[in-house]
A and B are shown apart, each in its own frame.
Chain A
Amino acid sequence: MMIIPNSTEVPISEDEKDILQEVMNISFGQVAAELAEIIDVLVVLSVPNVTVVPGKDFQNYLSKKLKLSPPFNVIEQSFSGKLSGIAFLVFSSESGKNMVAILDEEGGEDGIQGIDQLEKETLMEIGNMLTGACVGKIAEQLDEVVYYTLPRVILNSSSSLIDLVDKDSVVILVKTEFQFADNDVSGFLFLITNQDSFQWLKEALHRYIEQF
């Protein structure tokens, strides 16, 4: 089955999608610069690609379009407020180990901690930072404040993400590639919102564009 992201089933107009894309571009531009300063390595964030898909088409979209299949590392974090939902960061299984190498050269060889533990810590930190940065910046652009729960790290998840997505929800798919220094650490960010929140987002996007 072919998925057309702009099919009539998706409750967002072309204009709204353009504004969302713009908000994301601005947010991610700031995030990249600030992240580089914080982790002290060069961070390249590609221009985010924004797609909105209905929850029921999500799985198909993942496997057919993104060719993303398990196992991967997943960092799951809920956020609430007017903009509420769940953010999923999905990295390949190797990405986690590459991140450990970037952040924790000094801690990685002490031999006390298990490598899984270290990987988990690093993924939790980086995941929390990326989600917080992206969701936070979007909220900031739209003049809102968001609250976050503790991120949950699932290593080498082989289960399908579809189980986590309600069929009636709307998935805002933000695909971006992160590159840390010379190490390939790339991942996808998915933001999943419920209908109420999606409605608020659409209104906020209109308010946003009116100020210019």
Chain B
Amino acid sequence: MEENQVIDTVDTGIVIFDREYSATYWNGWMAAHTQISENEILGRSLFDFFPKLKNPRFLRSCKAVFAFGNLAFFPQDPYGYLFSMKPVEWFRSEFKFMQQSCTIGPIRGEGKEIERLFVSIRDMTEEAAYKKKLVALTLNDELTGSYNRRFLMNFLEDELYRCRRYNRPFSVIMMDIDHFKKINDTCGHPFGDEVLKLFASTVVRNMRKSNRFARYGGEEFVCVLPETDSEGGVGFAEKIRKLIEELPLSYKQSQVKITSSFGVITYTDDINDIATLMKKVDDALYKAKESGRNRVVVAN
């Protein structure tokens, strides 16, 4: 039959399975990309070959399609993939598994009863890679490679919500390079840029993996420390303050010493929004500047 040839060679994966999740059809595309032949998988449970598929969301979706005859969607964003398989260009893909957009739908028998389901699988790896690149461009600061303000504000919103819901601590450090304008004026902007980069890399190298570091503006940076109490926040700020002070910088053979100031805030339940949080930590940083710079001040 002509249509069988098409279904077998079309650049879309087609899988059909019954109520026991046993495969009853496995097209050529699936065989080619999974290295599992039709003979091997027919009549056997999909979960024998793809154990991760047996997750609540997939099972719920299948039950719903059996019950309602609707379509269930697993778009690449947010789901990534349903059937784990290598990307076509595995040797240069940044994804370990092929990114897929999948749709599950009903197949009715003679009596209009839904007897089986199909899944169609489209390869979205290339599109996902482009999207990832574009997203990175909108979330990163070009000069320092750290996150930008847009990312920071979104991350803070999430973090604030998480802390309120699970009643967990988190701290935020706002930091600023002292007399940065003077550095720029005396040593020139290219040198100033190097200082910014060095400052950013010093923080990033020393922070925890779960922390997020962003350029807030000019020479101002913010570090978010999830699961960190006030003591931990101040400790980290102090560590960075000392490291910055000791940076071996020189301009035209003469040593340049830079220092930085820090405001630290730890979430308490009277902080209702990000604006309040940022205002408080900004005030603390201002106090650090006022009282002589090169120091850490805790917000009250």
- Interface residue ranges, A against B (CB under 8 Å): 31, 34-35, 37-39, 103, 109, 111, 114-117, 120-121, 124-125, 128-129, 131-133, 135-137, 140, 145, 147-148, 150-151
CB distance from A151 to the nearest CB of B (A): 7
CA distance A111 to B211 in the complex (A): 12
Q: Return 29 A-B CB contacts under 8 Å, by A number.
A: A31-B68, A34-B67, A34-B68, A37-B67, A38-B63, A103-B56, A114-B155, A116-B154, A116-B158, A120-B78, A121-B78, A128-B71, A128-B72, A129-B61, A131-B70, A132-B65, A132-B68, A132-B70, A132-B71, A132-B72, A133-B67, A136-B68, A136-B70, A145-B69, A147-B71, A148-B70, A148-B71, A150-B73, A150-B75
The answer to whether the Cβ of B50 comes within 8 Å of any Cβ in the partner chain is no
A183 vs chain B, min Cβ distance (A): 14
Q: Is B226 interfacial (CB 8 A cutoff)?
A: yes
Inter-chain contacts of A128 with B (CB < 8 A): 70-73
Given known pairs A38-B64, A121-B78, A150-B75, the reply for A115 and B161 (CB within 8 Å) is: yes
Known: A38-B64, A132-B70. A111 touches B226 (CB 8 A): yes
- Is the Cβ of A38 less than 8 Å from the Cβ of B73? no
Bound state CA distance, A120 and B60, in angstroms? 17
Is the beta-carbon distance between A117 and B68 smaller than 8 angstroms?
Answer: no
**Pick the contact of B70 from A114, A116, A120, A133 — CB < 8 Å?**
A133
Q: Tell me whether B154 and A129 are in contact (CB under 8 A).
A: no
Q: When the two chains form the complex, which single residue of A117, A125, A148 contacts B57, counting CB atoms closer than 8 Å? A: A125
* Alpha-carbon gap, A120 to B78, bound state (A): 9
Specify the main secondary structure of chain A where it touches its partner: helix
Q: Which secondary structure characterizes the binding site on chain B?
A: helix
| A residues near B79, Cβ cutoff 8 Å | 121
CB-based contact A129/B70 at 8 Å: yes
Is B91 interfacial (CB-CB < 8 Å)? no
Q: Which residues of B contact A (CB under 8 A)?
A: 56-57, 60-61, 63-65, 67-73, 75, 78-79, 154-155, 158, 161-162, 166, 210, 226
Residues of B within 8 A of A116 (CB): 154, 158
14 more CB-based (< 8 A) A-B contacts, given A132-B71, A150-B75: A34-B67, A38-B63, A38-B64, A38-B67, A39-B60, A114-B158, A124-B78, A128-B72, A129-B70, A132-B70, A133-B68, A133-B70, A135-B70, A151-B73
With a cutoff of 8 Å between Cβ atoms, the chain A residues found around residue B78 in the complex are: 117, 120-121, 124
| Interchain CA distance A121-B158 in the complex, whole Å | 15
Residue of B nearest to A131 (CB): B70
Residue contact B210 to A111, C-beta cutoff 8 Å = yes
Q: How far is the CA of A111 from the CA of B154 in the complex (A)?
A: 14
Query: Which chain B residues border A150 with CB–CB below 8 Å?
Result: 73, 75
Give the Cβ gap from A165 to chain B, nearest Cβ, in Å.
23
* B69 / chain A contacts, CB cutoff of 8 Å: 132, 136, 140, 145
In the complex formed, the residue of A with least CB distance to B61 is A125
Which residues in B have their C-beta under 8 angstroms from that of A120? 78
Please name all residues of chain B whose beta carbon is closer than 8 Å to the beta carbon of A114 when the two chains form the complex. Answer: 154-155, 158
Question: Nearest chain-A residue to B59 (Cβ)?
Answer: A38
B145 to chain A, nearest CB (A): 21
Instruction: Name A129's contact: one of B64, B158, B162 (CB within 8 Å).
Output: B64
The residue on A at minimum CB distance from B155 is A114
Cα A34 to Cα B226 with chains together (Å): 40
CB pair B64–A115 under 8 Å, yes or no, is no
Alpha-carbon distance between A103 and B59 when the two chains are bound, in angstroms:
13
**Cβ contacts under 8 Å, B71 to chain A:** 128, 132, 147-148
Question: Shortest distance in angstroms between A132's beta carbon and chain B's nearest beta carbon?
Answer: 2
Compute how far the CA of A140 lies from the CA of B112 in the bound complex, rounded to whole angstroms.
Answer: 10
**Nearest CB of chain B from residue A28's CB, rounded to whole Å:** 12
Which one, A125, A135, A148, A151, contacts B60 given CB within 8 A?
Answer: A125
Task: Write the chain B residue with the least CB distance to A134.
Answer: B68
Q: How far is the CB of A209 from chain B (nearest CB, A)?
A: 20
- Per the bound structure, the CA–CA distance linking A148 and B75 in Å amounts to 14
Given the complex of chains A and B, what is the CA–CA distance between A140 and B69 in angstroms?
9
